[in-house]
Chains A and B, each alone.
Chain A
């Protein structure tokens, strides 16, 4: 690991000023960053510790929803009674991340901004497209864990569990930077590789997320996060889905289906949502939503299994959100 200067700002303004320096990265829980630094993937000259900032580790209920400080840990989210009750998919997603040790330290902000786990990207000796090289090794290589929905030219999957849940709940993030703060809906936060090859989101150098705002779900809303992984202790999603359903009078009024593990971004499946709105949720419509979620899937050589798995995961999540079982 390259030696670095460690900064402990006391205010967001100071943090933002520090982050505007060259070769500078923010650190919160450090669960992703330290691994990347030890592997030689990232070599910042300066680290700005966000944990020294006040007031960013709170979950506040407001009349219109939740405000989650960016330093709130995944354990705090998973255990929060209001999140568990009203924003269930977020609690379930936080609980599905990594291990208890990592969840105790890892923050919600870090979870949203973590870098992809693609083994070509993570290997410091492989100069892949995303790192400025001339090819995506996953295209002709071992792509068993890669994207089945991507415009190319890169086929990473977004590793976050919480991102699909927050996106499905309609959350937005507050971003602080040298030129002030801005609010960005999560829907517009993540970027496909054809728009942003080197990064995964709209954050500019020197910018940090300070807060996540989640609107209060409408009456009759229930949500679920389903994650399939090869092992249950500490593994990434092969496929996951966050489903938020608003049902009244036995009819689905609104549906948001966001997929994890299948695309370079948490992928909102408009097709799956459409398959549910205006219909009664039952085995047939849930299966139809599962089928619809695979509409844009074009698997690579080794990840075709993710298509039927995605179909099943979405079906199950829809049924569970409707209080039914598969």
Chain B
């Protein structure tokens, strides 16, 4: 093959909410998705290709993997928030019949409740659990702190040698103090906060590890099979090529499943020691204690605008905790441009374990802080909150979305003055906005194969974390080759296939789809070349449609798909694709409108309706995009009204490491959700996984304010807080 021409381009990549500009080399090929109106699959509602497998239980998740002679592993975890381990005696555990391997060399100091201390593999889960009870650990409890407010006090125990407070350097542009003291300016000052929240993946973290000589196969519930491979290889000191990671189906990650984790390395080690396959899946309590969480943040804010509603100054001091070393920083001011800005952020070290990326890291928190402050300021200015956004948001897509959303929710029905309604149960409307990158990056190496018998396969080492990746990988190839989606077998979730990146930052679609499209285009080109002689037509005059290969060259000649593929020779076609930046876009915009009812006697908030207006560039699968938006809204509603990780300051233990007092809403708590996909004619694919979770909580908070005229300054908005805001407690 001739050397491909390449060019260098600048692009932005967003990983876990951090957007950065990079220069990369890409193939110089003209490519475009084309007009959605002419497409058979793309942009339509494509049912999941693995949907039936999932609902019938045929789909095999990591949890379902059963291997002959497989052992079960359990992890002993610290009951203390901070302790030195004087000694570990596992002799009684090792003596227990059925115990095949024990690990006790993990650490000499534990820094949170739930930190790994030892691990056991045994012939049954029950024996493994019993064995844990026989491991004698001599702990020397040490001073601890779990609350960031307490940790900031000078008298608090120091949880790291560097102290408990990090950061705090002011970032400033413009002249904030002058802007705040101008006579034509209205200033609003308040403190808003968001608590730490858990990921609550339906399928817990975990792996099944099997060694074959010096090679390791790991089935993992992960959003990055290659990142798990690399972590395992590094931790075990073996070549990356000796590790194969498989994740055919997985039950959610939300940012918490990029690596192998401590449990992954333990699973592989135990399997090696026991010379048998080992399954290690975390339990719900372990999920809550030791698989990460999205950090909480508290923001002391000053926001100012001129009397006619032009934002002019922002001054915020924020702090939060992501455990010993994690960061709880949030992008402020959010969305709306402000000329004079000062921000200061402190990260507080505490004994609550390490945070992890959680769906749009930092953004839902920033949205709640910014949008609450925007609404409060609009109220003070006597300006309609939507007018205030229209005036201060230069984004043209959102300008259009605001109008669309306002119409769908019936914005004119809102209380003109917050809290002006009467009666025990009061209605209110609120809104908030979202921004996200959603662009992709180079690196995916899909292969499209057309066999001489007509079967078509596309292989790529990406993974479907529930977003529908497998379905669009098949659909893009089907579209290009004029086939039914069912005729294309999409093989993903295996590091034996071509490389693809981890699924995070809403980057998967914009990274994978262009590469798959390029591979399919390449395969099509080869197919057309192979059939052009038989059809006596120039490839440019041959189309692939409805399972046929049709030449329109004056007279119409056609071959069935099978006939055409029979001309390929024994080797068939195999084409690898590379990412093409012309097929992807970055920068998605959204906004949401909420309608709520607030019971002013019980304090209970009921969300009646959410209108979610979302742009994501070219829609590949409308059904999957709508599902993403539903999921985002549901998770955002949970954040608004229910979710919070609670720690006890007396014991340093999590109070709600379960799904009982860690509250997730159920079907009875769901509002009507009206998803409006904003038709953005960019013709390029962007990601939509994260953006729809961003503005929901803020929109609900603003709707509560509109209903009762009182602000609940911290999430979740519980009955207790509403009654307090109403002055009833």
Contact = CB atoms under 8 A, between A and B. Distances in A.
A265 B273 CA distance: 53
Given A137-B651, A141-B650, A232 B719 contact: no
Contact of B651 (A126, A303, A308): A126
Interface stretch (A5-13, A117-125, A182-190, A207-215): A117-125
Interface residues of B, number: 34
A231 interface: yes
B573 to A, nearest CB: 51
A252 to B, nearest CB: 22
A145 B729 CA distance: 15
A84 interface: no
Contacts of A231: 641-642, 663-666, 668-669
Nearest to A99: B666
Interface stretch (B39-47, B158-166, B503-511, B600-608): B600-608
A302 B729 CA distance: 10
Nearest to B638: A231
A230 interface: yes
A305 B641 contact: no
A83 interface: no
Interface secondary structure of A, over-half rule: loop
A235 B661 CA distance: 8
Interface in A112-144: 117, 119-120, 123, 125-126, 137, 140-142, 144
B655 interface: yes
Interface in B624-650: 641-642, 646, 648-650
A123 B391 CA distance: 52
Interface of A: 1, 3, 99, 117, 119-120, 123, 125-126, 137, 140-142, 144-145, 228, 230-235, 238, 302-305, 307-309, 311-313, 315-316, 326
Given A228-B602, A231-B642, A232-B666, A117 B660 contact: yes
A308 to B, nearest CB: 4
B649 A125 contact: no
A228 B719 contact: yes
B126 interface: yes
Contacts of A234: 666
B449 to A, nearest CB: 46
A120 to B, nearest CB: 8
Contacts of A304: 729
Nearest to A234: B666
B423 to A, nearest CB: 10
B602 A312 contact: yes
Contacts of B653: 123, 125-126
Contact of A308 (B601, B663, B665, B668): B601
Interface in B123-158: 126, 129
Contact of B668 (A1, A126, A232, A302): A232
Contacts of A313: 602
B667 to A, nearest CB: 6
A142 B667 contact: no
Contact of A309 (B129, B648, B667, B719): B719
Contacts of A120: 648
Contacts of B538: none
Contacts of B666: 99, 231-234
A51 to B, nearest CB: 23
Contacts of B656: 119
Most buried by A among B604, B642, B720, B728: B720
